Amino acid sequence: MIPGRLLPAHRVVAVSRWQAAFRMAFKDPERAKAYQRRWQVEHRASKNASTQRWRDANPETTRAQNNLYNMAHREQRRAYSRTYAAEHLEQVQSKGRVYRETHRVELRAAAKAYAAKHTEQLRISRRVYDKAHPEIIRARRHAFAKAHPENRRAKDGRRRARKNGTIATLTAAQWKAILTAYKGRCAYCGVKPKKITQDHVVPLSRGGAHTAENVVPACISCNLHKGDRQPPTLPAVRLLL
Ligand SMILES: [Zn+2]
């Protein structure tokens, strides 16, 4: 419980009425105060218990009072939280871990919503982070490239095609989708070879583009046999795409 929290309304009234009578009985106000203080200390446990009972019975009023208190003592509360966290580091950390593990879905959704709302902010902070940690970024990029060699291959393919002045947009993801559509089979003979190659239906030498529309999988034998001749019709399987 936060020290100095407001007492429930009924208690404030009851105590002050009791105080008035009490002070009348004691002629000396200083003695009355001292007695009262002693009484409060001696009966702290039962007083706290009774306050808690009242709070449990009046959750809405309690919540409203807490909100009022928190709003009026924002700085104090923040300082208290900080001190508490520093003194109970282990507890706070393990509590956070448990929370994150049990609320994975909600947290991910919240992070997504936050990212969608703060795109510009996040871009800036990412740029700042990247600039401050070049070696981490380099290592991460290296690991990603190593895990996705197909991206590199696709990039090389685009660069080769562009060199000849052809339109080159085929990405690794598109090539993967094309392979899936053909179930890994050669577009010309239908065989599923060990090594599949990219064949340009309209050859690059004849102005064909390095695009998803002009690339089909072909076995090495069909690819070599076709050479740079343009087939009279598109490969049969391709029409199913
Ligand atoms: Zn073939």
Question: How much is the pLDDT for 10?
Answer: 55
Task: Over range 85-96, report the average pLDDT.
Answer: 92
Neighbours of 192 (CB within 10 A): 13
Q: 199: closest CA among 191, 184, 188?
A: 188
Question: How much is the pLDDT for 47?
Answer: 86
**Distance between Cα 176 and ligand 1 center (Å):** 18
**Distance between Cα 97 and ligand 1 center (Å):** 55
* Amino acid letter for position 152: R
**Distance between Cα 193 and ligand 1 center (Å):** 8
Residue 82 pLDDT > 70: yes
Question: How much is the pLDDT for 165?
Answer: 83
**Distance between Cα 133 and ligand 1 center (Å):** 49
**Distance between Cα 151 and ligand 1 center (Å):** 25
Q: What is the CA radius of gyration of the chain?
A: 37
- Note the pLDDT tens digit of each residue in 158-175: 888 888 788 899 999 999
Residue 16's pLDDT band (boundaries 50, 70, 90)?
A: low
Task: Over range 184-194, report the average pLDDT.
Answer: 90
Residue 74 pLDDT > 50: yes
**Distance between Cα 161 and ligand 1 center (Å):** 23
- Residue 170: is it exposed, middle or buried by C-beta count within 10 angstroms (0-12/13-18/19+)? buried
**Distance between Cα 146 and ligand 1 center (Å):** 30
Residue 14 pLDDT > 60: no
Average confidence score pLDDT of the chain? 85
* Amino acid letter for position 127: R
**Distance between Cα 199 and ligand 1 center (Å):** 10
Residue 236 pLDDT > 60: no
**Distance between Cα 197 and ligand 1 center (Å):** 10
Residue 237 pLDDT > 70: no
Question: How much is the pLDDT for 188?
Answer: 86
**Distance between Cα 154 and ligand 1 center (Å):** 22
Q: Mapped to the 3 state alphabet, what secondary structure does the chain carry?
A: CCCCCCCCHHHHHHHHHHHHHHHHHCCCHHHHHHHHHHHHHHCHHHHHHHHHHHHHHCHHHHHHHHHHHHHHCHHHHHHHHHHHHHHCHHHHHHHHHHHHHHCHHHHHHHHHHHHHHCHHHHHHHHHHHHHHCHHHHHHHHHHHHHHCHHHHHHHHHHHHHHHCCCCECCCHHHHHHHHHHCCCCCCCCCCCCCCEEEEECCCHHHCCCECCCCEEEEEHHHHHHHCCCCCCCCCHHHHHC
Residue 198 pLDDT > 80: yes
**Distance between Cα 55 and ligand 1 center (Å):** 80
Task: Over range 4-13, report the average pLDDT.
Answer: 55
Phi, psi of 206 (to 5 degrees): -105, 20
**Distance between Cα 113 and ligand 1 center (Å):** 48
- How far is 105 from 153, CA to CA, in rounded Å? 36
Terminal alpha carbon distance of the chain: 67
Task: Over range 203-226, report the average pLDDT.
Answer: 88
Question: How much is the pLDDT for 239?
Answer: 41
Which domains does the chain possess? 9-72 (no CATH), 149-240 (1.10.30)
Instruction: Output the pTM of the full model.
Output: 0.43
